[in-house]
Amino acid sequence: MKAALAAGTALLVASLIAQTPAHIRPGEVWVDTSGKPIQAHGGGILLHGGVYYWYGEDKTLGNGNRTGVSCYSSRDLLNWKRESLALPKDAMPEEFRDNGICERPKVIYNPETKKYVMWMHLDDRGYAIASAGVAVSDNPIGPFQFLRSFRPIQYDFGFAENDRTRQAELGSTFRDMNLFADDDGRAYVFYAAEGNPTIYVVRLSADFTGIEAPPVEGKTWERILVGQSREGPAPFKYNGTYYVITSGTTGWDPNPASYAVAANILGPWTRKANPCVGEGRETTFGSQSTFVLPAPGKPAGEFIYMGDRWLRNNLADSRYVWLPFRIEQDGSFIIAWRDQWDPAPTAR
C-alpha cells in the first residue's frame, strides 16, 4: 500500500514537473497548467491587475472557426491556466462559425465603461466578407457578448472592377488586426485594409466598441505602409516613439518581418529593415508577428516579440515563437533566436 502510494506520488510529481515549463522554448509544444497544448493562435495579451490574459484562436478542431476565442491567464508568462472559451463560436453570427473565420482576437480594457472590449477579424472561408467583429464583457475571462460586425472605414482608394469584396459599397476590407491602447487613454485599431496592400490605423470611439466618428483621414485615421502589403501588425510604444512590427503576406507561410516607426501614431511612418538577425532571419524564425508585449519587471525598453509558427497542414499544432528584444539608444532593435529563455523579472 505504502509503495503504491509512493509510486503514485512520484508519478504525480513527475507529471507536474513536466507540465511546469522552466523556460519559454520558442517553437516547442507549450502546454497549459493542465498539460494540454495551449490553443491561442494569432493571439494577444492584456495585462490587468497583475495578471496576464492571453486571448487567441482555439484551433483544436483545425481550420475555420470551429471552437472560438480562448482565454488563458498567467502571472509569470510561463505557466498558463486555461480560463475559458471567452467567446465561443456559437456566440458569433452563423456565417462566421465552423467554416467561417475568426482570427487575431485582441482585448483591451476601457476604464471609463469598465468593460473588456474584444476586436477580431471575421470572414467567410474565401476571405471575402473581411470585416471587424466587436464583443464586450464585464470580466476578462468572459463570457464576451458579441456586439456587431462591420467595415470601419469607407474610402475611395480606387477600387478594382469586379471587386469580390465589394469595397466601393461596404467599405475597405478588414483582415489581420491589432489593438493599441495609448497612454493618453485613446485606443486604436491597426488592420490590413484595401484587400491587404495597405494598413489602416483608426482611433476608436470613447467606449472602444467602434471608431471615432466622423472618421476624418489624417485626423482620426490614416493609411500607412501604403501599397506595401504587410500583415500581422504588432504595435507598441517606447520613449514617445510608436513602433509596429509587420510580416509580409504569404498565407500561412513565414516571410521576413520588418518594422516601422513614427512620432505620431497617425504617421508619417518610416519603414525600417528586417529586425531579425542570424539563421532564420528570412522567415522571422519560422513565424509571423501577432503581438509585442513590454517585458515584465525588466528595464524600460525590453519587449517580447510574439509570433505564430503556423503549421498549414495541421493548424491545431501551430506553435508559438516568443523572443525577447531590447530597444537601443538610437531607437533601433534586433531580434535574435534563442532555444530557450526565462521571462522572469530582472532582480534590481
Q: What residue ranges bind ligand DGJ (CB under 6 A)?
A: 42, 103-104, 176, 231-232, 251-252, 288
Q: Return the number of other C-beta atoms located less than 10 Å from residue 16's C-beta.
A: 11
Euclidean distance between CA atoms 172 and 228, whole angstroms: 16
- Name the residue with cell 535574435: 336
Of 88 and 232, the one with the shorter C-beta distance to ligand DGJ is 232
- Name the residue with cell 466601393: 168
Whether 274 contacts 256, CB under 8 Å: yes
Mention every residue, 6+ apart, whose C-beta is less than 8 A from residue 313. Answer: none
Return the bridge partners of 180, or none.
188
Whether the upstream peptide bond of residue 105 has omega within 30° of 0, thus cis, is no
Q: Measured from the CB of residue 251, what is the shortest distance to ligand DGJ in angstroms?
A: 4
Q: Measured from the CB of residue 193, what is the shortest distance to ligand DGJ in angstroms?
A: 14
In a 3-state reduction of DSSP, which class is residue 145? strand
State the residue number with the nearest CB to ligand DGJ.
251
Q: Across the beta sheet with 81-88, what order do the strands follow?
A: 41-48, 51-58, 68-74, 81-88
Of 42 and 100, the one with the shorter C-beta distance to ligand DGJ is 42
Q: Measured from the CB of residue 192, what is the shortest distance to ligand DGJ in angstroms?
A: 8
Q: Measured from the CB of residue 155, what is the shortest distance to ligand DGJ in angstroms?
A: 22
**Cα of 131 vs its chain's centroid, Å:** 16
Of 219 and 312, the one with the shorter C-beta distance to ligand DGJ is 312
Q: Measured from the CB of residue 176, what is the shortest distance to ligand DGJ in angstroms?
A: 5
Helices (H), the chain: 2-19, 167-170
Q: Measured from the CB of residue 282, what is the shortest distance to ligand DGJ in angstroms?
A: 17
Whether 65 contacts 81, CB under 8 Å: no
Of 43 and 140, the one with the shorter C-beta distance to ligand DGJ is 43
Of 251 and 297, the one with the shorter C-beta distance to ligand DGJ is 251
Of 220 and 290, the one with the shorter C-beta distance to ligand DGJ is 290
Q: Measured from the CB of residue 325, what is the shortest distance to ligand DGJ in angstroms?
A: 21
Q: Measured from the CB of residue 38, what is the shortest distance to ligand DGJ in angstroms?
A: 17
Spatial CA neighbour of 86 closest among 150, 15, 145: 145
- Name the residue with cell 494540454: 36
Of 251 and 268, the one with the shorter C-beta distance to ligand DGJ is 251
Parallel, antiparallel or unpaired: strands 258-262 and 241-247: antiparallel
Of 142 and 233, the one with the shorter C-beta distance to ligand DGJ is 233
Euclidean distance between CA atoms 203 and 124, whole angstroms: 26
